[in-house]
Amino acid sequence: MAINPFTSFVFDLFIFSAIIITAYTVNFYYLAILARTRKEPYPTVDWGTPTVTIQLPIYNEKYVAKRLVDAVCNLDYPKDKMRIMVCDDSDDDTVELLGNLIDDYKKQGFQIEHVRRGTRIGYKAGALKHAMKTTDTDLVAIFDADFIPPDWFLKRAIPHFSSSKIGLVQCRWGHVNENYSTITQVQALSIDFHFLVEQKAKSNSHLFMNFNGTAGIWRRACIEDAGGWHTATLVEDLDLSYRAQMKGWKCLFLPDIVVEAELPAQMNGAKRQQFRWAKGSIQCAIKLLSDVALKRNVAIEAKIQAFIQLTRHIVYPLVLIQFLALPVLLAGQVNLYVVNVLPVLTIALYLAMGPGAFLIVIHGMYDKSWKSKAKLLPALLVYNAGMAVNNTVAVFDAVLGKKNEFHRTPKYGIVTKQDDWRNKAYNLPFTQTTLLEIFFGVYGIMGIFIAIFSNNPVFVPIIALQAIGFFYIAYLSISHTRFKRNKSSDNRPKTKKEKMANTVYKLSMIGILGIIIFGGYMAISGYNSDIYPLDRIRGNLDGIMTSSDPNVIRNHLVAIQADLDILMVSLPETVDSEGKVISRNPVWLFGTESTNFLRIQNNINTMLAGIDEISSISKENSAYHTGMLDINDRALILKINIMDATPYMYVSLANMMMSAIWIAAIIGIFAALKRKKEQLNKLDE
């Protein structure tokens, strides 16, 4: 059956997105196979005790800074061979805390220094670049503030520099607070996928792997040969490791050396971290891909995998495109089944490509403990689906060249379930991205109704999974929001301004909840008045085409007339020079006669008159059969016209105005919250 140009374009976009997403998914499974090909232990060499500088980039980390410095100073390594540089760009209580702590360790004979630049230019990359000016040791180890290196770390990791071409040894991240909440558990699983599949596969082969920014050791000569730390992107670690490998250096991943770290416990912190990774990867793609493609000594497969790794976050915009397109295609009665007669095969294919294959990967990663990890897979799918909006914004930020600002992921020293972060400094408020997440969640509810009423219930789980993800991320973003002045003491009484900010926050939460409920009600009401009548008309037209009883056909036509009367009221009309209405068309811009509901109504009236004439003719008369064929042909044409018009009912002027009002109301609430946040920031300054 032919479809209109708009639906055809949406269908092409849907299929294109599906092909690209499938390609990235299949590549992940290819890496999972590659990760299991190497069984022999990584080679080591007795390199003695080379000199090593341990660089600790820190910015406002008063809850975890001491824990890190204590762990580093507890490393089992000769003091005269180990230099510690605390690269502290903080502007809060962290400065004093570290100053006192470093003085104590200096008295104990440690080569430790408190490096203060007096600026945040270049952020973390700028701090590391500044530290390299005075670094003269053989090796450079780097730990972020939330990491806790074990005392044996250097003695076990350094011997893996067995070849002079190894420029980096990257160790696996552990998770000190993995069981704190569902959020931390799914983050841990996602990070393990990266290390135990992607990093392991690339380290085992000639493919490019990346430095993860921490829990790794560099050969100083490698950093200098690759051009040092650059500040042009938000992922300086990925940037430097790719430049090093283009120079011929080898990066090695050690899955058996695990360094515990703290996972973000607050949703807004997790979103900030994901945003930085997504935006930085696309920035690196823009900066490095042409150089990788032109390098003659880089294998074709390595070039392809570099492209996939650096651009993989474009999957998130494609997921949103598919999410937006699916209800439109279902409303337009476009067939999306893998096999026409077996719609269940469609959902089976989704399960096989997604959860089914992931279970196999999880089994290979965790062996005996895989069942406990597998239970987290539904939560991970919901989490990743909900993060699509946040990461899509990051991708567009990178593509459009929006100014870089390195926003750190705050940590709170969370280890056990009894630890609490809610009343501590550094808490982040939700952002405007939450508005988009709510919008996509409401759109998903509409999509579920469309799937049901268009007789495509097999797509309901797919739409529902994503809609739940959007609402879940939005809910936690809002519920995890706290207003607190970040640079002051945790135990001081709240100021009048802070109390007012919390009141505004609570009222805003009530307002947003009310707007969401109102938006959901309007969406369901709009569907019932604008879209559901079209579904009933299609059903009645099907009834006409399958019936040969004039009375039954007449009842269908009368029902269609009633639904058309409901629809005609809300459709924009066109009048001629004499003031006569000549068109009522949902396609308010460049409308065609095929979607003119006035013409459709006239056709129904003609069919009613025709069926009345047929009713008075004997069934044995040839005129009876000719008349019934004419009724059937008209019904088929009208069904196609109704299907062409359906997608445009969603974008009517009334719907667009209501959507604009709905979005404006939420933006207004965001603006009020932002003003209160700025007032608190001014007090801090």
- Quick count: other Cβ atoms within 10 Å of Cβ 11? 18
Q: Give me the pLDDT at residue 385, please.
A: 94
Q: Is 74 helix (H, G, I), strand (E, B) or coil?
A: coil
Q: Give me the pLDDT at residue 276, please.
A: 94
Amino acid 105 reads Y
Phi, psi of 572 (to 5 degrees): -65, 140
Closest CA to 145 of 124, 131, 125: 124
CA atoms within 13 A on the CB side of 303: 12
Q: Give me the pLDDT at residue 485, please.
A: 46
Where in the sequence numbering do the catalytic residues fall? 89, 237
Q: Give me the pLDDT at residue 406, please.
A: 79
Q: How far apart, in whole angstroms, are the C-alpha atoms of residue 489 and residue 684?
A: 12
Low-confidence stretches of the chain (pLDDT < 70) are 1-4, 38-41, 337-354, 404, 482-506, 508-509, 512, 519, 588-591, 650-656, 666, 669-685
Q: How far apart, in whole angstroms, are the C-alpha atoms of residue 555 and residue 66?
A: 80
Closest CA to 512 of 443, 432, 448: 432
Phi, psi of 152 (to 5 degrees): -90, 5
Q: Which element (helix H / strand E) includes 204?
A: none
Q: Give me the pLDDT at residue 1, please.
A: 46
Q: How far apart, in whole angstroms, are the C-alpha atoms of residue 482 and residue 427?
A: 6
Q: Give me the pLDDT at residue 488, please.
A: 46
Q: Give me the pLDDT at residue 493, please.
A: 55
Q: Which element (helix H / strand E) includes 217?
A: strand 216-219
